[in-house]
Amino acid sequence: MKSYTYIGSELELFRAAKNWKDYYYQMIRHHLGAEVLEVGAGIGGTTQVLCRANHLRWVCLEPDPNLIDGLRAEPNLSAGCDIRQGSLAELPAQAPG
């Protein structure tokens, strides 16, 4: 994968947007299945709200290696979160089933 560095500055701001994230969760929760791939997990602010105990598997995919370090160090992420650095193209293929 080519080196990728996220240049945005809004991740900390959106981490604190608890009301918006709770509203967002209420709108999409019925669409979240047992297995979820979160593409662009950033610093985990949205993951903390969406990833609940009722998921069998939650994969946080983030291309920026600097943000991955923060995700892995985040104590509020569910133990069930599988944090991976990379892109969709780099994920291993898995047969449906």
pTM tops 0.85, yes or no: no
- Sorted by where each begins, the domain ranges of the chain are 34-87
pLDDT at 47: 87
Residue 76 has pLDDT above 70, yes or no: yes
**In angstroms, rounded to a whole number, what is the distance separating the alpha carbons of residues 35 and 33?**
5
pLDDT 10s digits, 15-72: 788 898 889 889 998 999 999 999 999 888 888 888 877 788 899 999 998 888 888 8
Region 34-87: CATH code: 3.40.50.150
Nearest Cα neighbor of 17 from 27, 8, 25, 6 is: 25
User: Which H helix or E strand runs over 45?
Assistant: helix 45-50
**In angstroms, rounded to a whole number, what is the distance separating the alpha carbons of residues 91 and 80?**
18
